[in-house]
């Protein structure tokens, strides 16, 4: 999901994005968290670039979950990740030593980028995510194991906030990049 985006730009109009978030991580590029919402509210647009930007990482063997909280008003949300969902030509899944995160909010009805913000993960948090991604990358992929792990997390921790409070392996407040 390598995309160079700017506020006001339209992503491919022929692609229909599902509601929610998509996460990509490739060595040599910032981590990219793309959030697709139907007609995002002005508070959601504003929250993308408002401090604090908080993250939590859950490593569940066959799936990683990045929980995120943007700004002081919005609650926790989440995006699941496995390095096996990307083609080899996309690049090597991983987290750079300069752990920047590009957050992109897209109006999924128009495919127009509404907000863009880049932050930096503290190194202890980035190291936890990096090690998790490398381990998952080296583990043979099983769609069943991925779906089972994700379903088990959601049964035990039904909300993103439950995941953050009761299950996260690492937490951080990101710094401006």
38-56 b/e with 16+ CB inside 10 Å = b? eebeeebebbbbeeebbbb
pLDDT digits (tens, 9 = 90+) for 35-91: 999 999 999 999 999 999 999 999 998 999 999 999 998 999 999 999 999 888 888
Rounded CA-CA distance 77/40 in Å is 14
Q: What is the mean pLDDT of residues 97-121?
A: 95
Residues composing the chain? 177
Which residue would you say has higher pLDDT here, 151 or 13? 151
Alpha-helical regions (H) of 7-86: 42-47
Residue 3: pLDDT band (50, 70, 90) is low
Residue 1: pLDDT band (50, 70, 90) is very low
Domain positions in the chain: 20-176
pLDDT at position 4: 62
Give the predicted TM-score (pTM) of the model.
Answer: 0.93
Residue 138 burial (CB < 10 Å; 0-12/13-18/19+)? exposed
pLDDT digits (tens, 9 = 90+) for 138-166: 999 999 999 999 999 999 999 999 999 99
pLDDT digits (tens, 9 = 90+) for 113-133: 999 999 999 999 999 999 999
């Amino acid at each position: 999901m390598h995309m160079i985006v700017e506020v006001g730009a339209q992503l491919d109009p022929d692609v229909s994005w599902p509601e929610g978030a998509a996460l990509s991580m490739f060595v040599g590029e910032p981590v990219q968290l793309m959030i697709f919402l139907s007609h995002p509210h002005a508070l959601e647009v504003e929250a993308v670039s408002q401090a604090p930007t908080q993250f939590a990482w859950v490593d569940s063997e066959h799936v990683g979950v990045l929980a995120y909280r943007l700004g002081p008003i919005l609650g926790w949300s989440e995006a699941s990740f496995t390095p096996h969902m990307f083609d080899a030509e996309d690049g090597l899944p991983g987290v750079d030593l300069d752990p920047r995160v590009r957050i992109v909010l897209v109006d999924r009805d128009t495919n127009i980028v509404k907000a863009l913000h880049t932050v930096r993960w503290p190194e202890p948090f980035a190291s936890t995510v990096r090690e998790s991604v490398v381990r998952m990358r080296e583990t043979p992929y099983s769609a069943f194991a991925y779906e089972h792990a994700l379903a088990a997390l959601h049964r035990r921790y039904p909300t993103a906030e439950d995941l953050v409070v009761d299950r996260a392996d690492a937490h951080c407040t990101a710094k401006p990049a």
